Structures are given as C-alpha cells and as structure tokens.
Amino acid sequence: MKRRAFLRVLTAGGAGVMVGGASWGLHERLQVSVTRATLPVHGLPAAFAGFKIALLTDLHRSGLVPADLIATAVALTMSETPDLVVLGGDYVTQFDARFAGPVAEVLSGLSAPAGVIAVLGNHDDERVVPAALARRGIRMLREDRLRLTRAGDSVDFIGIDYWTRRASKIATLIDRTALPVLVAHDPRRINEAQALRIPLVLSGHTHGGQVVLPPFGPLNSFRFPVVAGTLKREDTLLFVSRGVGTIYLPIRINCPPEVAILTLA
C-alpha cells in the first residue's frame, strides 16, 4: 500500500477511526490467524489437486511491526505443513534496510517440500532485501520461474517485481509446456494475467484495506480489482491476501492479519 492511499483512508474515515477505533486497532493488528481457501484453477493437472500453498505477504518489519508478530505468522504457517511457501513482497517499510536482515532471520524458519519462493514489493529495494532473503535459503523470483513436476505434469510459479507491468514482459516468462501461476505483489496484474491466459494470480499489497469501515468497506477498494480474497475473470482466478504487517500507523480495524493457506483444486 502506498502512503498517499493510506492517508486518504484516514481522511475519509475521520476522527472516529483515529480516536474511537485506535484502541481496538492496536489490538487487532497483532491477532494474526490462518485463512483457508480452496482455489479452483482452470486446467490444473490432476497431480496437483490438493497441492497446498502458504501465502505470506506485506510483513513490513519496522519499528511499528514487531518480530514476534512475524514469528507467529511463521509458526502458524509451519503448523499447516504446506507443500510450498510463497512470500508476496513488502518485507520492510519504505526501503528501510536496517530491517532486511532481521526479517530474513525470522523467515528462515519457513520450509516446505517444494521450497520457499519470494517476490519483491514496492517497499523493497532491489539489492539489500533480496540478498538478505537469499542468504536464508529463500529463492527470489525476479522475472523468473520455479517449475514443479508431479506425475509428468508441471506447474510454473512465475515471479515478477512490483514494477513489472507490461504483458509483453510477463509473456517472455511463460512456457506453455507447464501451467503458469503468476506471483505478483500488485493484484492489478490480473489484467495482464487475463490477457495472457494465466489461470491463477497470487498477490498482496492492499493489506485488505487495513482500515475497513462499515458500511463503506475497505476505503482503498476503488484502487484495486479486489482488496482481499478471490476474484474470477474468465479463466483467471486472483487471490489477494490481507497480509501480516501494517504501515504508517500500527492499527488494523475489521481487517486482521492473516496467513493464507490455499489448496489448489
């Protein structure tokens, strides 16, 4: 989530959110839990039915987001025994390299039979953060793909950087001998995925709104195709996680942090 968008959320919410909701928001932002979803993927090979992915995104380790919160998310992830762990970007806030090593250290507790893969978000630099994660055995997918094969059928997890937006660039990463799955920090990449006939997109970036006010809902929803959960466009399915951390203010209102456990079907 970008600073301007977040400030617009607070302005639209008014003093009631800032004062009345602050106490609850401080509590809720630490209440990370597991969200489970089954994703029907168009053209999924039968061998991958039941394949379980853990998606963690928007960790935002900073002075406002404690290591203990991320450690809890890691522990919840491992308790679900996923086949693959996907990290969706924004490991720090505003390129603060001081937290690159600490967040990577906490994430080093992640493991899965098919590995741990990661993409970069808009708060991550292109040097310090990816290097810190790679030193902990996390595979960075920067305009790259990971191929998994079962019973002779393959799925490619294609990871792109936040600033990669052209369909022509993403197309160069697709090999039609495998089913493509796009991992992109920004859920707006569903537009390119749909054009390229990519059946599944995994994203974060929105924080689920971070502040959700009834009856208005997530006040950043006008910027994104969906801010949390699933969206189907033709044969392309998007899943957006609410993420773990917070930015700018350490609050979440009606929008608790999550570890998403996604089962392919």
Q: Establish if 2 belongs to a structural domain.
A: no
DSSP reduced 3-state for 71? helix
Mean pLDDT of all residues in the chain?
Answer: 93
Say if 182 falls within a structural domain: yes
Tens of pLDDT, residues 54-99: 999 999 999 999 999 999 999 999 999 999 999 999 999 999 999 9
pLDDT of residue 15: 46
Query: Is residue 231 helix, strand or coil?
Result: strand
Whether 239 maps to a domain, the answer reads yes
Residue 12 counted as domain residue: no
In a domain? residue 25: no
Domain with residue 71: its CATH number is: 3.60.21.10
Decide if 90 is inside a domain.
yes
Domain for residue 22, yes or no? no
Range of 191's domain?
A: 33-264
Is pTM beyond 0.85 here?
yes
Domains of the chain: total: 1
- Tens-digit pLDDT profile for residues 13-60: 554 545 556 677 888 999 999 999 999 999 999 999 999 999 999 999
Burial class (CB within 10 angstroms; exposed 0-12, middle 13-18, buried 19+) of 185: buried
**Which is it for strands 236-240 and 229-233: parallel, antiparallel or unpaired?**
antiparallel
